[in-house]
């Protein structure tokens, strides 16, 4: 009954043999899921904030720093995925190495990551979809595409009275559309994602190639603007200079969240021990290169201080007179956010599935598979219902940090756990080995803790409250229902 008990590797292997999930994903299908999760709102929105307020043309350097930090974690993820190719991601890895209480805490925070991430993306998708319709002279009423607080603020700006009711209908509907795709099956979800990924990459390549013809190298000078100190609410904030570059790296880190979602699909991979590690690293490398090139093009097309905070890519093309490209970019952003949401919700339900199989969550709700589609349909519908209502009724602001907190903790624990497993179980077969594991793992932990240091105090408070609730759930329910209490069953 120890909270430090570890799930044996043999138990993971038994789970893999008993799994009813359909193994249909190839290594490139998995890579596509990774790209689908990574390239989304980050590249279309965060680039503007990071360049305009913190890094200037050195935004490319911020992407390099964030990418290297994520690479440390991805290499550790890859080794674990080759040893324990099961759904559950960092939760499963911690359960097999560090202990049940750590595994639960990571799983609890992955729930936060995916839930907050998918909710944020649903609201962002609604905003881009409304913009897209506006380009075709179709306008939603403000009260039908915003929550009550946001709608009230927008009516106030127009000098009008607050509406009696407000509901973000586009966010609500896109959540249920994604939910329906996920209930139908992993093959359909992967096929939908593949189509969207092709559209996204095509538009990103268009931005890079077409934008390159309008680069004015004078806009890159100085590459790192002089450091500026400002005081906001009594706190000293560093903008620009190398400190600004580091701050921008913490912002664009959110744009990288998603490669870990690949590891949640191991139970549906055809050859998980080889294909999952390949997809984790490959999706991260491809997206890092694209991010760096896009950031160089955007800051070269227009002065960084003229980039629009909400739609920097579209504003850059608008600024050089290519107004028709705004249509293409808005369509790509809308499609891109759809695939991010799809993969986040997919990862969410697979985390639930892994925890339910271990007895830490009720199996009937979170682990039961649909008799025809072989998907965890009940948890998928539950997740879809919660996300749709929260996205439709709640004002979402600055939640990317809250989403990142769960991710940063998971990344840190994976880096620690892979070193522990290498020390305790050197005899295990490892189709993929993390190079210089103790150096890479230590650097991964240091980098993620460094980013957590820069998170706002309010986010830390919310994170600690969520964690406290999770610990209570563990001791009230999960510890007593864990299958490790009766491993012979």
Which domains, and CATH codes, for the chain?
9-485 (1.20.1740.10)
Q: What φ, ψ does residue 322 adopt, rounded to 5°?
A: -95, 70
Are the C-beta atoms of residues 440 and 75 closer than 8 Å to each other? yes
Decide if 336 contacts 200 (C-beta within 8 A): yes
Helices (H), 254-324: 272-301, 312-319
Q: Which residues contact 95 (CB under 8 A, 6 or more apart)?
A: 6, 7, 88, 103, 358
Query: Would you give the DSSP letter of residue 368?
Result: P
Band (pLDDT 50/70/90 cuts) for residue 143 is very high
**pLDDT above 50: residue 480:** yes
Quick one: average pLDDT of 418-444? 89
Measure the CA–CA gap between 87 and 264, rounded to whole angstroms: 5
Sequence-separated (6 or more) residues with CB below 8 Å from residue 371: none
Please state, for a pLDDT cut of 90, what percent of the chain lies above it: 18
pLDDT classification of 218: cutoffs 50, 70, 90: very high
* pLDDT confidence tier of residue 150, bands split at 50, 70 and 90: confident
CA angle 355–112–460, rounded 5-degree value: 130
**pLDDT (tens digit per residue) in 343-363:** 788 878 888 888 888 899 998
Burial string for 426-460 (b: 16+ CB within 10 Å, else e) reads: eeeebbbebeebeebbebbbebbeebbeebeeebe
Alpha-carbon gap, residue 131 to 125, rounded angstroms: 10
**What confidence score (pLDDT) does residue 487 get?**
57
Residue 149 predicted with pLDDT over 60: yes
pLDDT of 474 over the 90 cut: yes
Q: How confident is the model at residue 489, as a pLDDT?
A: 46
User: What is the rounded (10 degree) CA torsion for 391, 396, 401, 405?
Assistant: -40
- Give the best-scoring range by mean pLDDT among 334-338, 428-432, 451-455, 473-477: 473-477
Question: In angstroms, rounded to a whole number, what is the distance separating the alpha carbons of residues 229 and 54?
Answer: 11
Q: What is the pLDDT at residue 228?
A: 75
Would you place residue 38 in the very low, low, confident or very high pLDDT band (cuts 50, 70, 90)? confident
pLDDT average, residue stretch 22-51? 78
pLDDT band at 127 (very low <50, low <70, confident <90, very high): confident
Q: Can you spell out the DSSP letters for 404-441?
A: HHHHHHHHHHHHHHHHHHHHH-TTS--SS--TTHHHHH
359 burial via Cβ count (<10 Å: 0-12, 13-18, 19+): buried
């Amino acid at each position: 009954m120890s909270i430090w008990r570890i799930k044996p590797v043999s138990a993971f292997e038994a789970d893999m043999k008993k799994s009813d999930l359909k193994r249909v994903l190839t290594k490139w299908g998995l890579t596509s899921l990774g790209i689908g999760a990574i390239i989304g709102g980050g590249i279309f929105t965060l680039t503007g904030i990071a360049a305009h307020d913190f890094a200037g043309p050195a935004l490319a350097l911020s992407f390099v720093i964030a990418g290297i930090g994520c690479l440390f974690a991805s290499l550790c993820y890859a080794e674990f995925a080759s040893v324990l190719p099961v759904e559950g991601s960092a939760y499963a890895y911690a359960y097999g190495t560090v202990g049940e209480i750590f595994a639960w805490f990571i799983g609890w925070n992955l729930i936060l990551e995916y839930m907050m991430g998918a909710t944020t993306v649903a609201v962002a998708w609604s905003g881009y979809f409304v913009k897209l319709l506006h380009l075709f002279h179709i306008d939603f009423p403000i009260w039908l595409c915003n929550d009550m607080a946001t709608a009230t603020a927008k009516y106030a700006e127009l000098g009008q009275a607050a509406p009696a009711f407000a509901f973000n209908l586009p966010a609500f509907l896109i959540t249920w559309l994604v939910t329906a795709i996920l209930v139908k099956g992993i093959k359909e979800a992967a096929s939908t994602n593949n189509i969207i990924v092709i559209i996204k990459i095509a538009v990103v390549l268009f931005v890079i190639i077409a934008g390159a013809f309008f680069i004015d190298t004078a806009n890159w000078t100085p590459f790192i603007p002089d450091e500026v100190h400002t005081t906001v609410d009594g706190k000293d904030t560093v903008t620009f200079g190398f400190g600004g570059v580091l701050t921008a790296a913490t912002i664009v880190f959110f744009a990288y969240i998603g490669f870990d979602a690949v590891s949640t699909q191991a139970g549906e991979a055809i050859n998980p021990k080889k294909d999952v590690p390949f997809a984790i690293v490959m999706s991260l490398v491809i997206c890092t290169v694209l991010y760096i090139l896009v950031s160089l093009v955007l800051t070269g097309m227009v002065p960084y201080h003229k980039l629009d905070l909400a739609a920097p890519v579209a504003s850059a093309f608008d600024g050089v007179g290519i107004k028709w490209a705004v249509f293409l970019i808005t369509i790509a952003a809308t499609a891109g956010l759809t695939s991010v949401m799809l993969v986040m919700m997919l990862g969410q339900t697979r985390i639930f599935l892994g925890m339910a199989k271990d007895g830490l969550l009720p199996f009937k709700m979170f682990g039961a598979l649909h008799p025809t589609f072989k998907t965890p349909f009940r948890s998928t519908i539950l997740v879809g219902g919660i996300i749709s209502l929260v996205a439709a009724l709640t004002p979402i602001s600055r939640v990317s940090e809250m989403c990142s907190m769960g991710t940063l903790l998971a990344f840190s624990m994976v880096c620690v756990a892979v070193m522990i497993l290498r020390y305790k179980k050197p005899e295990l077969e490892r189709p993929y080995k993390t190079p210089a594991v103790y150096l890479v793992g230590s650097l991964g932990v240091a980098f993620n803790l460094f980013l957590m240091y820069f998170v706002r105090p309010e986010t830390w408070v919310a994170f600690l409250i969520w964690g406290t609730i999770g610990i209570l759930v563990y001791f009230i329910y999960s510890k007593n229902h864990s299958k490790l209490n009766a491993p012979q069953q």
